[in-house]
Amino acid sequence: MDPVFDEREYLARGRAFAQILSQLGQFESPPASAATAACGDGVWPPLHPLLLGLASSLFGPSACCSRR
């Protein structure tokens, strides 16, 4: 089932955080587009997407993993 409503935004931000964490793990600077996608316009709280990004970087970027 595709993500709906807020899930879609949190998943997109989580994937951006996963990209940032991956780049930092390789001691490289993350692209500005990933930071913009992760933070967006600053309306969404960052902890939940950051935890989704951590889970995505460990287990893969599936929506099913994010729902658990």
Contact 52, 61 (CB under 8 A): no
Distance CA 58, CA 46 (A): 18
Q: What is the pLDDT of residue 61?
A: 67
What is the CB neighbour count within 10 angstroms for residue 43?
A: 7
**CB-based contacts of 12: which residues, under 8 Å, 6+ apart?**
37
Q: Please state the pTM of the whole predicted model.
A: 0.77
Which residue, 19, 3, 20, is CA-closest to 62? 3
> Could you list the pLDDT tens digit for every one of the 68 residues in the chain?
666 777 788 888 888 888 988 899 899 998 888 888 888 777 778 888 888 888 888 877 666 656 65
The residue ranges of every structural domain in the chain are 6-67
**Residue 11, both tokens:** 């998943």
